[in-house]
Amino acid sequence: MNNASKLHGLYLVTPDWDDTRKLLEITELALKGGVSLLQYRHKTADAALRREQAECLQALARSYQCPFIINDYIDLCMDLDADGIHVGGTDMAVAEVRKAIGLNKILGASCYGSLEMAHAAEAAGASYVAFGGFYPSKVKKYPVTTAATIVTEWKAQGKVPSCVIGGMTKENSAPLVANGADMVAAISSIYLAGDPQAAARAFVSLFAD
């Protein structure tokens, strides 16, 4: 699987759901809709649930040839031989994470509204940088202070793909994609949608040539 080519399109991030069956059902519908990258993120799960859900999601993602990313947990990423990891700005330094996981795995870094952080992450070995929040989120709590212009600026300056996150819908992410965002990360717009597969397709359509 050429993971680098997958850093484009809809980036699906899981919600904090303990119901593994429901999580897998909705995720599969979204994968059928054309997800390019899947991240397992569950901030409140215990270690056993986290391992169970990650294993199930990874198997599902691989059946759709979709790269699978773990949020934060390097040990879990390495134990499962996941395709990569995503770290926040207050987590382990990007350079340390890259050293720990090796050169072949995807490494994403949250850079919020900071080009300086993005350049530092890129230099330290990040595969992509994530900007946000741009809009209020139903899931994540953060200042909605990221300027839309950061996407255009990064497109002109950066060498790795960018991802936008934070309250993303098809409508409000469209101008960010038009300005050069390589990926749109979505949680509730997919997982709480009446038709998750159609919702995923709607995001994917933003990237159609």
The catalytic residues are 41, 110, 140
Could you tell me if 46 and 73 are in contact, meaning their C-beta atoms sit under 8 angstroms apart?
no
Q: How far apart are CA 94 and CA 72, in angstroms?
A: 11
Q: How far apart are CA 111 and CA 86, in angstroms?
A: 11
CA-nearest of 9, 32, 22, 15 to 198 is: 32
Neighbouring-strand partners of residue 70: 40, 85
According to DSSP, the residues that pair with 108 across neighbouring strands are 86, 128
* Residue pair 30/206 in contact by the 8 Å Cβ criterion: no
Instruction: Tell me the residue type at 60.
Output: L
Ordered DSSP codes for 18-55: --HHHHHHHHHHHHHHT-SEEEE--SS--HHHHHHHHH
Amino acid at 62: R
